[in-house]
Every structure is written in C-alpha cells, then in structure tokens.
Amino acid sequence: MTGDDNPTAASPDDATVLLRVEGALARATLNRPRAINALDHGMVRVLADALTDWEKDEAVAAVLLDGAGERGLCAGGDIRAIRASAVDGDRRAADFWRDEYRLNARIARYPKPYVALMDGVVMGGGVGVSAHGRVRVVTERSKVGMPETTIGFVPDVGGTYLLSRAPGETGTHLGLTGTPIGAGDAVYTGMADHYVPSERLPDLVAALTRARTEAEVIEAVGGFAEIAPAAPLEARRGWIDACYSADTAEEIVARLRDHGDPEAAKAADTIAAKSPTSVKTTLAALRRARGLDTLEEVLEQEYRVSSATLGWPDLVEGIRAQVIDKDRRPRWAPATLAGVSDADVARAFDPAPDGPVGLAAPVAACEGPGGAR
C-alpha cells in the first residue's frame, strides 16, 4: 500500500475494512454498517496488516480510522461469534481476543499519528481501536461506552486501563453501569481529545490528506476543533466519588441508594440489573488496573479475565437476552451480588489456559494523549 505513486490501491467495496491512501493519509474504514461496523477476527487481522504496511510506507504521514454508514464507528466485537465459541467450548473467542488486544497495543504505540473519528456509536471493541490512538475526535453524535456488564462480560480492549485512569471514580461508575457518554464526558474522562462537529468531518479529512508531518496533522485537527460540550460527569463528581470509593460492589450500591441524589439512585438500579459476577469482577479489574503501569500489563490482565468468562453461564445468557432473543430479561447465575464470592472473582484472574498474550511495552515509551505511549 503506497501513497501518491499508487493512488488506485484500495479494497473492494464489499470488503469489511476499506483501505486506501489519499495524499499522505492512509485510511481504514470499518465497513459493516448494518452491524454498526462490529469487529470480527478477519477485520482485526486486516487492520493489523494494514498498519504494518503503512508504517513502512514513507509516503504515508498519518493513519485515519472511521466507520461506514451513519450510525457509528463501531458497536464493539462480534458478540454472536463470542457466544457461539462459549457454547461450543472452543478457543475461537480467545484467539480473537489475543489478536484484538495485540492490535489495541499496536495502535497505542504506533509511530505515525493515528487519528480516530469517534463519530456516532463507539462501544467496547470500538473503543479499543480508537481511544488508544494519538488523535481522538468526537462529535455531537458520539456515544462512547463500555457496556460489557450488560452481557455478562467485563470491560476489555484496554477499557479497564482507560476507565481506571479517568478522574476520581468516574471510570468505576462507567464500568459498572455500562453507561454511554457523549462528547463532553469523553474528553473529560480522557477517552477523546478533540470535539469537531460532524458536519465538519469531511473538510477535516480533506485537510489531513495534505498533512505531511505530525505537527501538520495536529494543526489540521486543531483548525476544525471547537470547545467540547459540558461534561455531566464532572458535575456529578460529588456523589460519584463518595459512592464508588467503597471497597465492595454491595457497599457501592448501598451508598448510591442512600445518597439522596436521583441520579445516584438510578445508577444503583442500573447496576442491580447487570450480571452480578460481571459487576464484581469489573470492580476488581479496575482496582487492579490502577496498580499496573502500562497498557500492555492491563491487556494481559484483561485476557486472563476474558478467557475466564467463556466458562461463565452469564456470558452466554447475557448475549442471548440482549442480542439473540432480545427479551432483555437475563437470568443471572448467581442472581445477586451477595451470591458471588471473593473466590469466584479471584478465579477470573487466574492464568489463561493458553498462557499470556505476550505483550511487552517498549523500553522507551513515547508519551501521548491516547494513554499508553
């Protein structure tokens, strides 16, 4: 994949990831619009190979990721395939996660500016391929979230790294409730950098095709960026920090119910509807992630937990209720937070059956807004 000397190099229109180079800008467009561009294993491999090619291509100054259609960048991973793997008792889902987490780490360390247009829905795996980038753009349509506790899973793709480093206990709130956030909160929590109105995105992309250096990329984005909307989470920090600083999930819910703020009570009801096993394991994962220094270390932890979820009844049941039957009435097992023991949670962090992912952070990590560089 080369630059101006090979302008016709591109993917077929029916490819699940559209690849092309325009000027000095390499573009990857997730192309499953009917599924809000949900990631499957093949798409992860295509993105990884493209990043390798573009890193070597001297004509490419920056990489841009966006999504096809009007609904969003990416709704997450292909959870139907993950459920099928869990039902069959095989390692297909684990193989997918292994490559996906390697891609997440690669994006965070990419030597060229990686620009993610986080327009519309950006959930789960969509966060993994965007929020670790060097330049992360949200719009008035952005809906960013890690909703894994809703399906009996746990935030992954480096989500616990990002959430554990959000201001105060806001990341704990988002991780346990799975609440999606808009542009203002995305910038406030450190999951995005710039706010650009969606109507200006085509002009921004055109400007990026002319940028030849990282400084010019940053200048181009800055030329279209505006002050982000207000961040509701910032105004709610009082009850969020007071309630979510508790040591246990049970105490968090009790504090939320007793606080008196209607939003706190609503959060308690939301958590109560999630998988108890997921809620407790997510809390432990977030607390542990705070003590880990690098994204790579957190991704290794997440791989152990993700692998463990394949044996949980809640993962199969949660996806059934939300995606397969869509009755929105999951039958969790255990059904309550009290029914999930500390030993149950601890087992989720045991080594994965096939060992670690094998990620290693560079000795001299470069700093950047996307977190782990």
Residues forming the active site? 77, 125, 148, 156
Tell me how far the alpha carbon of residue 162 is from its chain's centroid. Answer: 9
Structure-token pair, residue 135: 């330049």
3-state per-residue secondary structure call for 97-139: HHHHHHHHHHHHCCCCCEEEEECEEEECHHHHCCCCCCEEEEC
Element (H, E) at 76: none
H or E segment to which residue 145 belongs: strand 143-145
Please give the torsion angle defined by the CA atoms of residues 126, 17, 78 and 310, in that order, rounded to the nearest 10 degrees: -90
Q: Report the chain's terminal Cα–Cα distance, integer Å.
A: 25
Where helices occur in 178-235 by DSSP H, the ranges are 183-188, 201-209, 214-224, 232-235
Burial class (CB in 10 A: 0-12, 13-18, 19+), 174: buried
Contacts by 260-269, CB closer than 8 A, 24 or more apart: 261/236, 263/236, 263/239, 264/239, 267/173, 267/177, 267/179, 267/243
Q: CA 324, 327, 331, 336 torsion: positive or negative?
A: positive
Instruction: Work out the burial of residue 357: count CB atoms within 10 Å of its CB; fewer than 13 is exposed, 13-18 middle, 19 or more buried.
Output: buried
Cross-strand bridge partners of residue 116: 65, 136
- Give the CA dihedral 346, 347, 351, 354, nearest 10 degrees: -150
